[in-house]
């Protein structure tokens, strides 16, 4: 039995050598494209995570510090605190302080302008992760189909008139290419989907802090009567 199998494999290799056929090598183009998407996706996830970590501050403590400084009519020190503090909350409070002479309406407009600028910046690149989470399994499926296509191509006789024999290595190349592409596509989709949900949660937290700080900034800069507080700067 083993001698028959050996003769069969030897004959298959001899036919492939005569007709210049070579087994399909490598992981396939879809696999390497998924590798590229993995690198870009991981870079986006890391960049967003570091950004949110840097800009997430204790807004209550920050507002309390600015409020105490403004109570002493020290506007320059309040602006310095805002400049030294990262995050959209500090930038919003600084904008409110700079336009304090315009009254409550002008302060509210400045806060809304900051919100319109900061929210899209926080949400940047999240749509890319959502897209990769959706299309990565489809790309993996495409790689699987291309891998099986390579398997059947190896099974075809050299004259193209039907299906004959092929060495196991020639078939396994296509099978492994199909499995690698499917596994990588599904794995990438899982990572991107989980990261997207986590980052959206962080964005919602920052936006909520921004909205709360906006109301506090109006009261802090304009007071309860809507007029700008006097400044000794």
Q: How far apart are CA 197 and CA 194, in angstroms?
A: 5
pLDDT interval class at 226 (50, 70, 90): very low
* pLDDT of the residue at 166: 58
pLDDT interval class at 23 (50, 70, 90): very low
**If you average pLDDT over residues 117-146, what whole number do you get?**
94
Q: How far apart are CA 205 and CA 58, in angstroms?
A: 12
Supply the pTM of this predicted model.
Answer: 0.76
**If you average pLDDT over residues 163-169, what whole number do you get?**
58
Q: Is 80 exceeded by the pLDDT of residue 19?
A: no
Q: Which of the residue ranges 19-23, 99-103, 184-188, 215-219 would you say has the lowest mean pLDDT?
A: 19-23
Q: Which of the residue ranges 1-10, 50-59, 123-132, 145-154 would you say has the lowest mean pLDDT?
A: 1-10
- % residues pLDDT > 90 (the chain): 49
- Does residue 129 or residue 5 have the better pLDDT? 129
- Does residue 139 or residue 163 have the better pLDDT? 139
* pLDDT of the residue at 172: 75
Q: Which of the residue ranges 5-19, 46-60, 174-188 would you say has the lowest mean pLDDT?
A: 5-19
The residue to which tokens 């191509």 are assigned? 153
Which stretches of the chain are DSSP H helices? 2-18, 29-55, 59-71, 75-84, 88-98, 103-122, 126-155, 168-222
Q: Is 70 exceeded by the pLDDT of residue 53?
A: yes
Q: Is 60 exceeded by the pLDDT of residue 128?
A: yes
pLDDT in tens, 86-95: 989 999 999 9
**Half-sphere exposure at residue 227, Cβ-oriented, CA atoms within 13 angstroms:** 4
Q: Is 50 exceeded by the pLDDT of residue 1?
A: no
Q: Is 70 exceeded by the pLDDT of residue 76?
A: yes
- Does residue 199 or residue 55 have the better pLDDT? 199
Distances (CA, A) of 49 to 134, 198, 217: 21, 9, 27
For residue 34, count other CB atoms closer than 10 A to its CB.
Answer: 26
């Amino acid at each position: 039995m083993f001698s028959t199998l050996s003769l069969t494999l030897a004959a298959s290799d001899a036919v492939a050598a005569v007709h210049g056929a070579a087994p399909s090598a490598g992981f396939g183009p879809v696999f390497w494209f998924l590798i590229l998407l993995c690198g870009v996706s991981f870079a986006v996830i890391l960049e967003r995570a570091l950004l949110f970590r840097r800009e997430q501050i204790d807004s209550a403590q920050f507002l309390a510090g600015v409020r105490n400084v403004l109570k002493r009519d020290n506007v320059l020190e309040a602006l310095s605190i805002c400049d030294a503090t990262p995050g959209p909350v500090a930038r919003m409070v600084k904008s409110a302080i700079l336009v304090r002479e315009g009254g409550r309406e002008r302060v509210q407009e400045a806060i809304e302008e900051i919100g319109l600028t900061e929210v899209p910046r926080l949400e940047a690149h999240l749509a890319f992760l959502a897209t990769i989470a959706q299309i990565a399994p489809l790309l993996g499926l495409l790689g699987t189909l291309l891998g099986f296509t390579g398997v059947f191509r190896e099974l075809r006789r050299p004259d193209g008139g039907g299906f004959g024999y092929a060495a196991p290595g020639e078939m396994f190349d296509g099978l492994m290419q199909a499995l690698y592409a499917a596994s990588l596509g599904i794995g990438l989709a899982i990572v991107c989907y989980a990261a997207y949900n986590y980052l959206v949660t962080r964005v919602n937290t920052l936006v909520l802090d921004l909205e709360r700080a906006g109301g506090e900034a109006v009261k802090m800069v304009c007071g309860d009567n809507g007029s700008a507080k006097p400044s000794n700067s």
